[in-house]
Chain A
């Protein structure tokens, strides 16, 4: 069953086991593909779309998420074509416009050279990558949280927004979160893109107010609290929003 498959990535032929994803194959070759909702220990999900690569040739060439696409015999893959880069930049711009406070996303923006956000900025704590949901289900075997709603209503919560009996407050969800876990701690950057990342209060307090964090009553676990120097906090408060 598990035969070997030969495919060509960025001009290099590579042999991988059947069932390998394009992302794994590309990383095996040393090509760096940015990811956000991907984690080696969790099943691929394909939500953030950052890992898109171009497959096929000519008119039939198209973009697919490499984390979910299985390697196919003879497939031609380009991980950094112009089309891929253009799309990745727009995706990062979209992410930045939702969660400009995330260091992970700011770093991605710097790497890809995204220098502007042309959409109205919303400060959200979550980009719905779903890592926490998979972490909870696959590694912790708890299934305490999941997605509800569609479109802009989509969010992650416990069933019926109530404290979940299944939650063991293990903190796995917070550990794996790429957005709220890592916050930019550096000095205020000169550009408009990276200016608003100095809000370093416990995020669960803002997001859940006096209701529930995944972990129990907001703020109790202390996981997401970071010390904020007073002068930074003051500067943040008086700063004009971009």
Chain B
């Protein structure tokens, strides 16, 4: 084999190689790193070879098996050259189609193109894909240009020219100077300036010096070094030879984890080839410089990524750090000066030598230069390796490149720097990513792992997870690290299991600080970071676990039992009633529902079911149709005449007044009645039910259903007085004077917000609540044939669908300033509205109401576009200047929100600037003794189930108040009252199990009447769906004990 004898010889070889394979020659590049192979890229490659043979293209088309291109989400994928067409998620069957259609006929295959999930736009070329567009792939781009097992490929794209340049035209000091001026800093995490490290090592006295490449990439979720070693090993080797020349080292090691077999293989091949070409060994490029390299495989200890431990491991000792100083550049391997850099740092070196320090220093921020590769993983749409210039914001990485959070969930935090890094919260999304800024935010660059977390991630659990990793991986030498990580882990475990106690957080902080300060090496010094950063940014989550026994993300098993029950504001025992339905025990299921919920039939129809959003079955598939199952049970009760058994506690004398008969008021009244209090509910309107009666249209919640629930509450002894309003017929003082001992104010939020636009007073402009109330009360409402509704919430959709039903031939248009994805209304409601022929004008906002002679004529709208992501994780709508247009209307309904109307003034009952009543959030007590308030009048417009919860809690507070007890709340772990044995499913049933579609009236049957649209599940559907429940309530220690027979189903044994 030929040895390359100098710079000119290398250039000659390069030109010769380019001639052999001109860039115009067709080539199929298959991304085939470890991840690609795991997704089947080798089979796809084989299929291509066969297809080419079959169609006589053998030898005319190159197949290049390259390393990873970084876009994990699209694996396995290929680039078809010379055009560079990008086909993704290929199966072996697709190969022949690509050969025939694209290679032979020059046609692009639409179905294999990448579709951006955010915009639905297709991309033909790699560069068009948003994931790639915002990146600057100085290092990673080469992966797609070469076969890592071919040194010729590397030389053809200019490989080893930097080495030739350095060896033949630069003195070692000049090389060091160039690296220093480039501003390159160590990519392993600590960010020490590379040039200075080299200089220190060069100046360190010693006849023998070493260079080491740290490829012990151990952070969970970080794999950029693997990708470089697998996909472009020569770039790392070239960097190391240049470094060795600059430092004066004659031998080097690549310390790579044995768990990276492909990287080990490719590096091994590359070293062999480099030696054959005279690029390694004696007299490199005939320059007189000698240097050789050896691969050492690490045994998988995380701590061996620490440089002193790594060197101990290379020397054959236990991988255990020692104190620095002396630093490796002074006393390293076998006591000799040693320079350690990580894979990515070495790979940057040839670029800097070739293109110059100025070019490199022009990228990035003042103190962090160049690009950095991040592995973007976790709850993110585009998983993959991302190479970006330093200083890019987290927001750009997560939203523009990463495509945001899957399933429209809310971004919570991003963990950077691996297990010993920290979590950065949503408030800091604008943070520019560089060494200093990340450290200021309590995290670090680390090797570049970025784990994205959404609302379903519990930050305490995250801290516990990382501490579990670290206590395992601590070498155990330092007491502080070994015991400190163990004790932090124990405290975190106790908190996540509901055993947290006061003082735990202070102890955690105290311990974390000591571990950080007193540990010997980087592992121990950074191990507390996950604890400290989550405590700093998410202390409220810790407190929720300890004080309220709540896990806001519904993750910590021993706290939450099942997420559905935990997340339900009233703690409905969902797994119990679902399990009972699965066994056909419907009446018992109904009893379980009624036990906690005074308005079960209502909730079976209109609850916003937060339980389904957190359902475990929804993580990999579709959540259980919990609301539909509840409705099934309550409908069963109505059909079978199963009246609730009124259970009243021992009679008490103190009279309680409840003002408002919405869900909060009714629930409070029912709860108090059960405790034995005489309760009177005062309602301003002629009907009881509040928003349930007048806000929600008949077709969603039939009046007879609401009546059934109200009747049940009345049967408890609750008296409801309609047409009696606070501030009109009754007053707070008056009620106390009449002998009421406590008052609960739950008058809701019924006043629609004004649009705040010129011309709003025109005739034909209606507030949504006035409109819905009038229709629900059977009053006649004048609607023009052309109706517009402004807003995107449920009130807007309700108003639109009611208007649709009133106007057989009219046009109904909803005007919303964002897109459908951001609409706060329930998706099924939006879908139903569209089915009923309602138009939705997305990305439009009103600027002026047009009228003549005081009569509405239309509305002037401006077109919006989505701009930057705001703190809610949604893109902010921005008006497009000059895009105004007019929509002619006869009626305009304003549905942009509601607020309470407080019809009284009381020195002690304080009202906030949002016109809500201020209460103690734990007890719902107002400033006036004996007066409590809850529901929408306190929270602003909320959901039915939250109002019910407020009513129930207030009832407990009122009970305590009337008994003269302190108004405190007791918080307990979420648990079902009984463990129902699970049902057994056949394998076939598991495969076929699907969430049933709710049977609906067809649009033509419903669009002009107020018949209930949802028809409810059949018995067969309900049982089948209930059987699909994963029964995660049985995963707690108690649950497991219960089904393993150590405990029996209470009362049913």
Question: Cβ of B325 and Cβ of A90 under 8 Å apart?
Answer: no
Quick one: CB contact mask for B296-309 with A, threshold 8 Å, 1 for yes? 00000101000000
Shortest A164–chain B CB gap in Å is 17
Shortest A92–chain B CB gap in Å is 10
Shortest B69–chain A CB gap in Å is 36
User: Which of A143-151, A185-193, A204-212, A232-240 lies at the interface with chain B?
Assistant: A143-151
Please, which residues of chain A bring their CB within 8 A of the CB of B301?
Answer: 150
Interface residues of B in 661-709 (CB under 8 A from A): none
Question: Cβ of A63 and Cβ of B518 under 8 Å apart?
Answer: yes
Shortest B396–chain A CB gap in Å is 31
Question: Cβ of A46 and Cβ of B520 under 8 Å apart?
Answer: yes
Question: Cβ of B303 and Cβ of A52 under 8 Å apart?
Answer: no
Please, which residues of chain A bring their CB within 8 A of the CB of B485?
Answer: 151
Please, which residues of chain A bring their CB within 8 A of the CB of B477?
Answer: 45-47, 128, 130
Quick one: CB contact mask for A120-156 with B, threshold 8 Å, 1 for yes? 1000000110100000000000000011011111100
Question: Cβ of A69 and Cβ of B479 under 8 Å apart?
Answer: no
Shortest B300–chain A CB gap in Å is 11
Shortest B247–chain A CB gap in Å is 23
Please, which residues of chain A bring their CB within 8 A of the CB of B318?
Answer: 146-147
Interface residues of A in 91-117 (CB under 8 A from B): 91, 94-95, 97-98
Shortest B731–chain A CB gap in Å is 55
Shortest A43–chain B CB gap in Å is 11
Please, which residues of chain B bring their CB within 8 A of the CB of A48?
Answer: 479
Please, which residues of chain A bring their CB within 8 A of the CB of B518?
Answer: 49, 52, 63, 65, 87, 91
CA distance A149 to B507 in the complex (A): 28
Q: Which of A48, A52, A68, A150 has the most CB of B within 10 A?
A: A150
Question: Cβ of B476 and Cβ of A118 under 8 Å apart?
Answer: no
CA distance A87 to B473 in the complex (A): 23
Shortest B477–chain A CB gap in Å is 5
Does A195 sit at the interface, judged by CB under 8 A? no
Shortest A206–chain B CB gap in Å is 21
Q: Which of B303, B478, B479, B510 contacts A150 (CB 8 A)?
A: B303
Q: Which of A95, A118, A120, A154 contacts B507 (CB 8 A)?
A: A118
Smallest Cβ-Cβ distance to B517: which chain A residue: A63
Contact A68-B322, Cβ < 8 Å, known A151-B473, A152-B482: yes
Contact A91-B514, Cβ < 8 Å, known A46-B323, A97-B487, A152-B482: yes
CA distance A48 to B318 in the complex (A): 18
CA distance A120 to B501 in the complex (A): 14
Contact A128-B482, Cβ < 8 Å, known A150-B303, A151-B474: yes
Q: Which of B471, B472, B484, B517 has the most CB of A within 10 A?
A: B517
Shortest A115–chain B CB gap in Å is 15
Question: Cβ of B323 and Cβ of A150 under 8 Å apart?
Answer: no
Contact A127-B476, Cβ < 8 Å, known A86-B514, A94-B487: no
Please, which residues of chain A bring their CB within 8 A of the CB of B471?
Answer: 151-152
Smallest Cβ-Cβ distance to B484: which chain A residue: A94
Smallest Cβ-Cβ distance to B470: which chain A residue: A151
Does B540 sit at the interface, judged by CB under 8 A? no
Please, which residues of chain A bring their CB within 8 A of the CB of B228?
Answer: none
Smallest Cβ-Cβ distance to B476: which chain A residue: A154
Quick one: CB contact mask for B483-495 with A, threshold 8 Å, 1 for yes? 1111100100000
Please, which residues of chain A bring their CB within 8 A of the CB of B320?
Answer: 147
CA distance A153 to B485 in the complex (A): 13
Contact A154-B520, Cβ < 8 Å, known A68-B322, A70-B325: no
Shortest B492–chain A CB gap in Å is 13
Question: Cβ of A95 and Cβ of B490 under 8 Å apart?
Answer: no
Please, which residues of chain B bring their CB within 8 A of the CB of A95?
Answer: 479, 483
CA distance A120 to B323 in the complex (A): 30
Please, which residues of chain A bring their CB within 8 A of the CB of B31?
Answer: none
Question: Cβ of B519 and Cβ of A49 under 8 Å apart?
Answer: yes
**What class of interface size applies to chain A in its complex with B?**
35 or more
Does B617 sit at the interface, judged by CB under 8 A? no
Question: Cβ of B479 and Cβ of A127 under 8 Å apart?
Answer: yes
Interface residues of B in 294-336 (CB under 8 A from A): 301, 303, 318, 320, 322-323, 325-326
Quick one: CB contact mask for A171-200 with B, threshold 8 Å, 1 for yes? 000000000000000000000000000000
Q: Which of A46, A63, A150 contacts B475 (CB 8 A)?
A: A150
Question: Cβ of B475 and Cβ of A83 under 8 Å apart?
Answer: no
Question: Cβ of A70 and Cβ of B326 under 8 Å apart?
Answer: yes
Q: Which of A72, A94, A97, A153 contacts B480 (CB 8 A)?
A: A94
Interface residues of A in 1-19 (CB under 8 A from B): none
Does A160 sit at the interface, judged by CB under 8 A? no
Smallest Cβ-Cβ distance to B524: which chain A residue: A49
Contact A69-B323, Cβ < 8 Å, known A149-B476, A152-B476: yes
Shortest A93–chain B CB gap in Å is 9
Does B511 sit at the interface, judged by CB under 8 A? yes
Please, which residues of chain B bring their CB within 8 A of the CB of A64?
Answer: 323
CA distance A150 to B471 in the complex (A): 9
CA distance A153 to B474 in the complex (A): 10
Shortest B122–chain A CB gap in Å is 50
Contact A119-B490, Cβ < 8 Å, known A47-B479, A150-B303: yes
Interface residues of B in 963-977 (CB under 8 A from A): none
Does A62 sit at the interface, judged by CB under 8 A? yes
CA distance A119 to B490 in the complex (A): 9
Please, which residues of chain B bring their CB within 8 A of the CB of A146?
Answer: 318
Shortest A118–chain B CB gap in Å is 5
Q: Which of A49, A69, A98, A150 contacts B473 (CB 8 A)?
A: A150
Contact A46-B473, Cβ < 8 Å, known A68-B323, A90-B511, A118-B507: no
Shortest A137–chain B CB gap in Å is 12
Smallest Cβ-Cβ distance to A47: which chain B residue: B477
Question: Cβ of B483 and Cβ of A98 under 8 Å apart?
Answer: yes
Please, which residues of chain A bring their CB within 8 A of the CB of B472?
Answer: 150-152
Quick one: CB contact mask for A68-84 with B, threshold 8 Å, 1 for yes? 11101000000000010
Please, which residues of chain A bring their CB within 8 A of the CB of B476?
Answer: 128, 147, 149-154
Q: Which of A49, A119, A149, A152 contacts B479 (CB 8 A)?
A: A49
CA distance A40 to B619 in the complex (A): 60
CA distance A142 to B320 in the complex (A): 21
Please, which residues of chain B bring their CB within 8 A of the CB of A90?
Answer: 510-511, 514
CA distance A152 to B482 in the complex (A): 7
Shortest A69–chain B CB gap in Å is 6
CA distance A121 to B474 in the complex (A): 21
Please, which residues of chain A bring their CB within 8 A of the CB of B474?
Answer: 150-151
Smallest Cβ-Cβ distance to B485: which chain A residue: A151
Question: Cβ of A94 and Cβ of B483 under 8 Å apart?
Answer: yes
Smallest Cβ-Cβ distance to B318: which chain A residue: A147
CA distance A48 to B478 in the complex (A): 6
Shortest A73–chain B CB gap in Å is 12
Shortest B120–chain A CB gap in Å is 49
CA distance A128 to B874 in the complex (A): 53
Shortest B526–chain A CB gap in Å is 14
CA distance A94 to B483 in the complex (A): 7
Please, which residues of chain B bring their CB within 8 A of the CB of A86?
Answer: 514
Smallest Cβ-Cβ distance to B494: which chain A residue: A120
CA distance A95 to B486 in the complex (A): 13
Q: Which of A68, A97, A151 has the most CB of B within 10 A?
A: A151
Smallest Cβ-Cβ distance to B489: which chain A residue: A152
Question: Cβ of B517 and Cβ of A65 under 8 Å apart?
Answer: no
Smallest Cβ-Cβ distance to A127: which chain B residue: B479
Please, which residues of chain A bring their CB within 8 A of the CB of B323?
Answer: 46, 64-65, 68-69
Instruction: Report 17 cross-chain contacts, Cβ distance below 8 Å, ordered by A residue.
Output: A45-B477, A47-B478, A49-B520, A63-B517, A63-B518, A69-B325, A72-B325, A83-B517, A90-B514, A91-B480, A91-B514, A97-B487, A127-B479, A150-B472, A152-B471, A152-B472, A152-B486
| 8 other A-B residue contacts (CB within 8 Å) besides A64-B323, A147-B320 | A49-B518, A69-B325, A83-B517, A87-B517, A87-B518, A151-B475, A151-B486, A152-B476
Binding site for A on B (CB under 8 A): 301, 303, 318, 320, 322-323, 325-326, 471-480, 482-487, 490, 503, 507, 510-511, 514, 517-520
Q: Which are the 5 A-B pairs with shortest beta-carbon distances? A: A154-B476, A68-B323, A90-B514, A94-B483, A151-B474
